[in-house]
Amino acid sequence: MKAAGILALIGCLVTVADSKIYTRCKLAKIFSRAGLDNYEGFSLGNWICMAYYESRYNTTAQKVLDDGSIDYGIFQINSYTWCRDSRLQKNHCHVACSALVTDDLTDAIICAKKIVKDTQGMNYWQAWKKNCEGRELSEWKKGCEVS
């Protein structure tokens, strides 16, 4: 009985340890190195702002939507169209949804680029439209040592 309790506690600690919440500047550097600054005409500030309002920079963020699909990761990429989970979906990014909730942002960034390129820019993200679109966004990278 005690062993089961200890294992459950260890499982909780491991889950917490796997969760990563980036700082704004760390993300700015990662996004800049990944070529997001001015990708398809969207400044680095757009990407940092969008990630903040979508996930608060949390790599393991997940949100179940009314239609049963799930938004995953730092960009809250939806399972129905863009990634593969346990159900049959379109999987346009050719990636498992689980790959979008890791500290390695490579798959999430590749998929986000595909979304921007294949859809109507950043309009895919409602949080971007509501909080970032048409605003002065240079503050999002201020003090982060990125150009």
Return the axis-axis angle of helices 24-33 and 44-55, rounded to nearest 10°.
130
Predicted TM-score (pTM) of the model is 0.85
Residues with catalytic roles: 54, 71
Q: Over the stretch 48-89, which tens digit does the pLDDT of each residue have?
A: 999 999 999 999 999 999 999 999 999 999 999 999 987 767
Q: Which CATH number applies to 21-141?
A: 1.10.530.10
Q: Is 142 a residue whose pLDDT tops 50?
A: yes
Q: Over the stretch 110-123, which tens digit does the pLDDT of each residue have?
A: 999 999 999 989 99
Label each residue of 109-128 as H, E or C: HHHHHHHHHHCCHHHHCHHH
